[in-house]
């Protein structure tokens, strides 16, 4: 309580001192900014700590009101003891006060591999309709496990003028680890009786930048982890990744057991199969059809998987549960397999030098003699051994008995993620194009299409196929049929199309203007706005798109003008077009390839130029004259 009153008085003074600067606090125009961001973590013993936060935010306009929405997470291991908030004018006049009782409690699921069943949030909207105004907010959390040691990550979507992190250890010798995210961060130290106080501070922190498809380590702050901790009835210490794996092995002890009826089922599913790879595929497809993803937790269920027998009976589970079930099925078939704790590429960038909880997902690794297979047990419509883009090329912790280690998952090649279309048809009156043809898709392209086609309601599927078409063909009536849509995921997905594009060509009295790019046209929005890049740019995956169009003219038209054929080759991508026109038939071919997902900052300018050239080529028109 004394802490809250102290920061309240300190902030009141600070707010009035800073008032004269107004919106000149930051050199660029911003919707909001933090003038103060203070964090204090007090470790009293292995099962008790306090976390105190105090922040002051200036909201300059309506767009800044999003930063007036407060969300404070808590669960059975972290309890919010007190919250207070005050709204001020920039002249120091109090507008409104909020107490703990004014914050609503909402239950929520963290959605990751490690989170607590009784997770909830204290929420409140502190926005005001007269600008500018200031928000001061303070809260105190009580932790009963150091597993939740908070990091210091001061960079946010808006500028932060000053941020600090104070660590107070009641026992100066209590073991902990820290990982500074920049070289300039050093702590001041002060002895306090038998304890010690560490203090870090940063000023004028710029807003963080968002980067496509991948999470990158923050530029500012410090990661923390306890040298030892207790969670539930499990006590452990993490000095290296083997320790992290041993801890997870403790949580899974006795949970790979299957009931008797499952034993005979595994035998039946693998009967007559001679190779281990065939057996893995058979059991993986069984899991996909038999179970569904559901997140329901009890006790420390956010970290401890349910037993394989329970998953078998209930037919559902989360990523850890389904991976445990998959490992149990494979072991029953005599095949070695292990869970792999995983950061998804879009959410976490794992730092190998800092053994700690850096995971939000779990997959399965199967080390076969001829190859290693990776299984994403929460993904339907995926072939055994394929991975979705979010877990391609990421460092994961393979949890083996006494030998857990960091391993990188494979990255799919562009020739594995292919789209190939061949469309034939005739141009009829008014620029209408009557067509039929096939799309053949493999790898991640097929998985994405399967998810979209299967999951969207039937009433919207026609609209979906219209949206597949490029702008000039979008006004279409399309009928479709498929092969290997809901089975045989190791085989290409085939989509048979026939229909009519009503405004495919523009027709005048003597001329026809026609753009032959029916699919996969690069849009202006696909070109990154930024001109320079400090961090790599990522695609979801490398791929190849090949599109062929054979278009018959019903009348005697000659080709009056045609765009140049294009051939662009770079280290990261290729683009090619070619055509022929004979006997009133246009044959057009387009190939667009991204060779690898990662575009380095040094390549970024060339990459933008490449996309601009592709965009221009994809918009080019053929002109035919009667």
* Strand, helix or coil for residue 574: strand
Strand partners, 123: 71, 104
In which band, very low, low, confident or very high, does the pLDDT at 2 lie, cut at 50, 70 and 90?
A: very low
pLDDT digits (tens, 9 = 90+) for 179-201: 999 888 889 999 999 999 999 99
Judge whether 149 lies within some domain: yes
pLDDT digits (tens, 9 = 90+) for 316-328: 999 999 999 999 9
pLDDT digits (tens, 9 = 90+) for 446-492: 999 999 999 988 878 777 887 788 777 767 788 899 999 999 999 99
Containing structural domain, residue 383: 238-408
Query: For the whole model, what pTM was predicted?
Result: 0.89
Residues 457 and 313 in one domain: no
Judge whether 536 lies within some domain: yes
Residues 534 and 617 in one domain: yes
Lowest mean pLDDT among 69-78, 276-285, 367-376, 460-469: 460-469
Residues 252 and 298 in one domain: yes
- The confidence score (pLDDT) of residue 108 equals 63
How many helices and strands in the chain, by DSSP H and E?
9, 36
Section 142-156 average pLDDT: 95
Judge whether 590 lies within some domain: yes
Q: What is the DSSP string of 367-392?
A: E-SS-EEEE-TT-SS--TT---GGGT
Mean pLDDT, the chain, as a whole number?
90
Last residue of a domain, one of 384, 408, 432: 408
Q: Is the pLDDT of residue 283 over 70?
A: yes
Residues 328 and 424 in one domain: no
Section 520-524 average pLDDT: 93
The answer to whether the beta carbons of residues 58 and 36 sit under 8 Å apart is: no
Residues 209 and 257 in one domain: no
- The confidence score (pLDDT) of residue 9 equals 42
Q: What would the two tokens of residue 523 be?
A: 């849009």
Q: What would the two tokens of residue 200 be?
A: 């870090």
The answer to whether the beta carbons of residues 438 and 480 sit under 8 Å apart is: no
Residues 419 and 402 in one domain: no
Q: Is the pLDDT of residue 82 over 50?
A: yes
- The confidence score (pLDDT) of residue 147 equals 93
In which band, very low, low, confident or very high, does the pLDDT at 298 lie, cut at 50, 70 and 90?
A: very low
Q: Give CA–CA dist 80/367, Å, rounded.
A: 45
Closest CA to 168 of 202, 200, 198: 198
Q: Give CA–CA dist 32/575, Å, rounded.
A: 43
- The confidence score (pLDDT) of residue 112 equals 46
Q: What would the two tokens of residue 179 be?
A: 């990982």
- The confidence score (pLDDT) of residue 14 equals 42
Q: Is the pLDDT of residue 364 over 70?
A: yes
Q: Is the pLDDT of residue 134 over 70?
A: yes
Q: Give CA–CA dist 622/626, Å, rounded.
A: 13
C-alpha distance across the termini of the chain, in Å: 87
Last residue of a domain, one of 380, 408, 436: 408
Judge whether 232 lies within some domain: no
- The confidence score (pLDDT) of residue 397 equals 98
Residues 257 and 294 in one domain: yes
Section 124-137 average pLDDT: 96
Residues 219 and 72 in one domain: yes
Q: Is the pLDDT of residue 16 over 70?
A: no
Judge whether 177 lies within some domain: yes
| φ, ψ (nearest 5 deg) of residue 247 | -65, -45
Helix H or strand E encompassing 455: helix 443-455
- The confidence score (pLDDT) of residue 5 equals 41
Helix H or strand E encompassing 483: strand 476-483
- The confidence score (pLDDT) of residue 76 equals 85
Residues 378 and 449 in one domain: no
pLDDT digits (tens, 9 = 90+) for 527-568: 988 878 888 899 999 999 999 999 999 888 899 999 999 999
Last residue of a domain, one of 226, 251, 273: 226
pLDDT digits (tens, 9 = 90+) for 428-446: 888 899 999 999 999 999 9
Q: State the CATH number of the domain containing residue 339.
A: 3.10.620.30
Q: What would the two tokens of residue 159 be?
A: 């500028």
* Strand, helix or coil for residue 68: helix
Torsion of CA 517, 520, 524, 527, to 10 degrees: -140
Q: Give CA–CA dist 439/428, Å, rounded.
A: 23
More confident position, 106 or 312: 312
Residues 618 and 548 in one domain: yes
- The confidence score (pLDDT) of residue 117 equals 53
Other CB atoms within 10 A of residue 525 CB: 8
Within 13 A of 188's CA, how many CA atoms are on the CB side? 8
Torsion of CA 470, 537, 378, 275, to 10 degrees: 90
SS (H, E, C) 200-255: EEEEEECCCCCCCCCCCCCCCCEEEEECEEEECCEEEECCCHHHHHHHHHHHHCCC
Q: Is the pLDDT of residue 626 over 90?
A: no
pLDDT digits (tens, 9 = 90+) for 583-622: 999 999 999 999 999 999 999 999 999 999 999 999 999 9
Judge whether 231 lies within some domain: no
């Amino acid at each position: 309580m004394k802490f809250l009153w102290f920061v309240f008085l300190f902030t009141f003074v600070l707010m009035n001192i800073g008032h004269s600067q107004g919106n000149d606090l930051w050199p660029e125009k911003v919707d909001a900014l933090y003038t103060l961001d203070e964090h204090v973590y007090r470790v009293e013993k292995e099962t008790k700590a306090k976390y105190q936060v105090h922040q002051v935010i200036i909201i300059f306009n309506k767009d800044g009101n999003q930063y007036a929405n407060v969300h404070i997470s808590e669960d059975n291991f972290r309890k919010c003891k007190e919250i207070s908030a005050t709204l001020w004018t920039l002249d120091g006049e109090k507008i409104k006060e909020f107490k703990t009782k004014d914050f609503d409690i909402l239950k929520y699921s963290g959605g990751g591999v490690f989170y607590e069943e009784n997770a909830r949030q204290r929420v409140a909207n502190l926005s005001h309709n007269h600008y500018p105004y200031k928000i001061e907010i303070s809260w105190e959390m009580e932790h009963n496990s150091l597993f939740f040691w908070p990091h210091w990550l001061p960079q946010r979507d808006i500028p932060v003028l000053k941020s600090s992190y104070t660590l107070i250890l009641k026992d100066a010798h209590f073991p902990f680890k820290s990982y500074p995210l920049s070289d300039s961060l050093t702590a001041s130290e002060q002895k306090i009786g038998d304890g010690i106080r560490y203090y870090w501070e940063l000023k004028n922190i710029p807003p963080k930048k968002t980067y496509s498809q991948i999470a990158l380590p923050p530029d500012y702050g410090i990661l923390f982890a306890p040298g030892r901790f207790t969670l539930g009835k499990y006590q452990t210490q993490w000095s290296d990744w083997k320790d992290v794996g041993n801890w997870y092995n403790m949580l899974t002890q006795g949970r790979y057991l299957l009931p008797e009826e499952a034993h005979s089922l595994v035998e039946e599913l693998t009967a007559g199969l001679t190779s281990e790879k065939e057996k893995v595929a058979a059991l993986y497809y069984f899991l996909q059809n038999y179970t569904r993803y559901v997140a329901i937790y009890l006790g420390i269920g956010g970290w401890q998987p349910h037993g394989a027998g329970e998953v078998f009976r209930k037919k559902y589970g989360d990523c850890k549960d389904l991976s445990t079930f998959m490992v149990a099925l494979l072991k029953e078939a005599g095949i070695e397999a292990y869970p792999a704790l995983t950061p998804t590429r879009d959410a976490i960038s794992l730092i190998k030098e800092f053994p700690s909880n850096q995971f939000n997902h779990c997959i399965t690794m199967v080390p076969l003699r001829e190859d290693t297979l990776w299984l994403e047990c929460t993904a339907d419509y995926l072939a055994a051994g394929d991975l979705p883009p979010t877990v391609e090329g990421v460092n994961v912790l393979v949890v083996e008995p006494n030998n857990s280690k960091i391993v990188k998952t494979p990255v799919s090649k562009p020739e594995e993620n292919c789209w190939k279309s061949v469309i034939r048809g005739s141009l009829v009156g008014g620029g209408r194009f009557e067509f039929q043809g096939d799309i053949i898709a493999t790898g991640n392209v097929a998985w994405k299409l399967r998810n979209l086609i299967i999951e969207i309601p039937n009433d919207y599927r026609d609209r979906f196929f219209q949206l597949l078409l490029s702008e000039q063909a979008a006004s279409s009536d399309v009928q479709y049929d498929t092969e290997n849509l809901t089975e045989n995921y190791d085989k290409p997905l085939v989509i048979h199309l026939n229909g009519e594009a009503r405004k495919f060509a523009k027709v005048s009295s003597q001329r026809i203007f026609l753009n032959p790019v029916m699919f996969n046209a690069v849009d202006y929005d696909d070109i990154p706005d930024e001109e320079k890049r400090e961090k790599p740019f990522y695609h979801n995956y490398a791929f190849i798109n090949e599109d062929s169009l054979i278009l018959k003219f019903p009348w005697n038209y000659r080709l009056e003008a045609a765009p140049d054929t294009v051939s662009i080759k770079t280290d990261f991508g290729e683009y090619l077009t070619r055509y022929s026109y004979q006997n009133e038939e246009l044959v057009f071919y387009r190939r667009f390839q991204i060779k690898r997902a990662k575009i380095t900052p040094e390549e970024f300018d060339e990459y933008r130029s490449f996309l601009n050239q592709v965009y221009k080529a994809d918009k080019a028109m053929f002109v035919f004259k009667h």
